[in-house]
Amino acid sequence: MQLSVKPQTQKPPKIYQCAYCEKKYRKIDEHAIRQHNAAKHTIKCSLCTETLVNNEELEKHINSKHPPTRWCDVCKKCFELEEFKKHLREKHKLIILENRK
């Protein structure tokens, strides 16, 4: 009787890096909730479908993935420059004064 050996077809598990402590885990959501009292990715980027764990991570994401934008510190949203000006005027009654020579 001859034994046959089948090649392993399982993919290695994905490993994720924690946004809080930078350690690596297979079940990052469970770790973040258990160790850092974090909610599962709850903050959504207003420019794409990405969701992140906190405002700091959102700001990093926006700066790296959507650089020509402006961040509203009042309502924690990101806008393209012209939309940002309109947002400030309409929502916060503010006007951006530009340098003109």
Give the span between the Cα atoms of 87 and 27, in whole angstroms.
39
Per the confidence metrics, is the pTM higher than 0.75?
A: no
Q: Which of 3-17, 63-77, 80-94 has the highest mean pLDDT?
A: 80-94
**Assigned domain for 91 exists:** no
**Assigned domain for 22 exists:** yes
What angle (nearest 5°) sits at the alpha carbon of residue 92, between those of residues 91 and 96?
A: 110
**Assigned domain for 82 exists:** no
**Assigned domain for 61 exists:** no
Residue-number span of the structural domain to which 30 is assigned: 13-52
Over residues 18-68, the pLDDT tens digits come to 777 878 877 777 777 777 666 665 788 888 888 887 778 888 888 888 766
What is the tally of structural domains in the chain?
1
